[in-house]
C-alpha cells in the first residue's frame, strides 16, 4: 500500500486526504483552464483589434493550455485507481504524450513571445535613435 491510498474497514482502497486535495485542485485547474483559455481564444478571434502578431502567440498558448487542461481529469483518475488494467495502460500511453507535447509547446510558445517582444523593443530603439527621418 502506498502513502497515497488507505484501506477502509471493508478492505476497499480509497484515496487519502492528499489524493482528495490533489483531485479537487486538479478539478479547479481543469475548469478554470478550459473556461479562461476558451475566453481568450474567443476574444482574439472575435475582435479585429486583438488580432496582432503577439496575440497569435497568446492564442497558441491558450490552445496548448486547453489541451493540458483536458488531460488533468485523466491523471486524477489514474492516481485514484490503485490496480492495473490493460485499458488503463492504453489510456496512459495515449494521454501522456498529448500532455507532454502540449506542455512543451507551452514552453516554446512562451519563449517565442519573449523573443518577439525583445525584437520589437530592439527595433523600436534602433528606429528611434539611429534612423534619421
Alpha carbons 99 and 75: distance in angstroms, whole number: 10
- Give the pLDDT of residue 130: 86
What are the pLDDT digits (tens) for 29-54?
999 999 999 999 999 999 999 998 88
What are the pLDDT digits (tens) for 18-27?
777 888 888 8
Q: For all residues of the chain together, what is the average pLDDT?
A: 84
Q: For position 46, which CATH number holds?
A: 1.20.1070.10
pTM: 0.76
| Residues of the domain holding 64 | 5-129
Number of domains in the chain: 1
As beta bridge partners, residue 14 has 6
Alpha carbons 30 and 128: distance in angstroms, whole number: 45
Mention every residue, 6+ apart, whose C-beta is less than 8 A from residue 62. 37, 38, 40, 41
pLDDT at 10 over 60: no
Higher pLDDT, 111 or 84: 111
- Give the pLDDT of residue 102: 94
Alpha carbons 101 and 107: distance in angstroms, whole number: 10
Amino acid at each position: 500500500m502506498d502513502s497515497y491510498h488507505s484501506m477502509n474497514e471493508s478492505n476497499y482502497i480509497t484515496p487519502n486526504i492528499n489524493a482528495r486535495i490533489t483531485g479537487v485542485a486538479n478539478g479547479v485547474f481543469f475548469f478554470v483552464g478550459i473556461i479562461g483559455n476558451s475566453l481568450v481564444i474567443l476574444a482574439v478571434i472575435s475582435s479585429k483589434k486583438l488580432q496582432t502578431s503577439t496575440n497569435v502567440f497568446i492564442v497558441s498558448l491558450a490552445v496548448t493550455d486547453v489541451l493540458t487542461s483536458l488531460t488533468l481529469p485523466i491523471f486524477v483518475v489514474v492516481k485514484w485507481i490503485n490496480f492495473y488494467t490493460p485499458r488503463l495502460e492504453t489510456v496512459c500511453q495515449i494521454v501522456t504524450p498529448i500532455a507532454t507535447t502540449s506542455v512543451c509547446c507551452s514552453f516554446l510558445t512562451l519563449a517565442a513571445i519573449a523573443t518577439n517582444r525583445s525584437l520589437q523593443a530592439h527595433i523600436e530603439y534602433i528606429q528611434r535613435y539611429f534612423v534619421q527621418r
